[in-house]
Amino acid sequence: MDLKTLTIKQARKDLDAKKYTAVDLVSAYLEAIKEKNSNLNAYLEVYNDVIAQAEAADKRIQNGEKGELLGIPLALKDNILVKGRIASAASKILENYVATYDATAIEKLKKSGAIFLGRCNMDEFAMGGSTENSAFGPTKNPYDTSRVAGGSSGGSIATVASDIALGALGSDTGGSIRQPAAFCGVVGMKPSYGRVSRYGLMAMGSSLDQIGPVAKTIEDAEIIFKVIEGKDNFDSTSKESPIEKRQNKKIIGVPRKILEEKGISEEVLKNFNESIEKFKSAGYEILDIELPRISYSLSVYYILMPAEVSSNMARFDGVKFGTLAEGETLTEDYMKTRGTLLGKEVRRRILLGTYVLSAGYYDAYYGKATKVRSLIKKDFDEAFKKVDAVLMPVSPTPAFKIGEKTSDPIEMYLADIFTVTANLIGTPAISIPSGFTTGELPLPLAIQLIAPYMQDEILFEIGKDFEKLK
């Protein structure tokens, strides 16, 4: 079997036609992992019962059971809980933490018969855009190992891009699925806020986080999405999928003003304009739209997200959760545990968040940011009265070199300029491969589509139309 061209859809057909078994399929992936992972550092752990999982899936197939993901090998981001397995969030503080229950998304995948290959590297507690903040070393880009895979779901994305998983789960707080997907040439989706349960996902920014699918094609991403989505009693923010689906009238909005921002590479802009022409050739109308306050998104995000981080990280103190580094007193215990076992970026965001929530600064920063967030959402609501989706780049540049931005956190944060908005306003967004840079080692480029809230299906419709044009 050719893992490079294999998709979930094709593997499903092959398994049902008895061309090979689930054991054969996962064995091929385990061999590929042995060959490639030491160079990429995409998996932190390959599970020791993968063959046993595949044998159970084969029995279900032999018994006539059907299911899109039955016997399909997937990779998981290390901040999603799987009962009885380590979930470290790529942090030393949780290096030996064993989950006591399944995340809802995991429970649904287990019922569907999916096979879990292992847990993937990520930026520590999902804080970062390059997977360089992992306590276990960076994940490398499969197209050029001197470059980052992106983050924070870099490991999940690299497994799919390098054919050592057929699909994966990531989490997206400000672009953490979409940006690495763009850097590695695969499809990555952030569902609408509430469309997929967050129960069992380690919280970073509770009003921003979403679990989402990673795959080679739009169709494969949709298959995973359909299994994991839906209301969950364990997550009060989760919602049922809407009965009424919005009709795709083939109108795409382009906010031209944001494309005038400094720092966008010429190759990204050229590819973006070529993608617009492709949409036109598929019968889409391209409409220039105004999103007056979108330029404030990054500032708003980097106030609200650290505030939520500060609150959510309070539980990791070595007592309630995590390894304890003992000191002379209780205060020293906390200081030593959090000071030595949490990475620099995590500590930076906790400090920032604590500051903006502190007395005297709450109204000046957090309160104002919350109001501007509502105004940005209003701008998009107005735009969606005229268009079916908004089109933007995913990242201002292709994948950058490992170590290139680590000394300048602000430069790293600026790379999120196109992705954070969808998390702030709760809308679904998807990264779709759209070509490559020129040069000795061509690097993947991507476009991003944002659809109205809870109308995730429009992204799949438009995405499939775009894929056909390649």
176 is catalytic: yes
Identify residue 280 by its one-letter amino acid code.
Answer: K
77 is catalytic: yes
Catalytic residue of the set 77, 108, 190, 405: 77
| Rounded-to-integer distance, Cα 181 and Cα 434, Å | 11
- Residue 363: phi and psi, rounded to 5, are -65, -40
- Residue 38: phi and psi, rounded to 5, are -60, -30
Catalytic residue of the set 91, 153, 176, 275: 176
HEC profile for 320-361? CCCCCCCCCCHHHHHHHHHHHHCCHHHHHHHHHHHHHHCCCC
Long-range contacts of 16-25 (CB under 8 A, 24+ apart): 16/61, 16/66, 21/54, 21/58, 21/61, 21/71, 22/54, 22/55, 22/57, 22/58, 22/61, 22/70, 22/71, 22/115, 23/51, 23/54, 23/55, 23/58, 25/1, 25/54, 25/71, 25/72, 25/73
190 is catalytic: no
State whether residue 172 is helix, strand or coil.
strand
User: Which residue do the tokens 């070509």 mark?
Assistant: 435
Catalytic residue of the set 152, 153, 197, 275: 152
Which residues are designated catalytic? Answer: 77, 152, 176
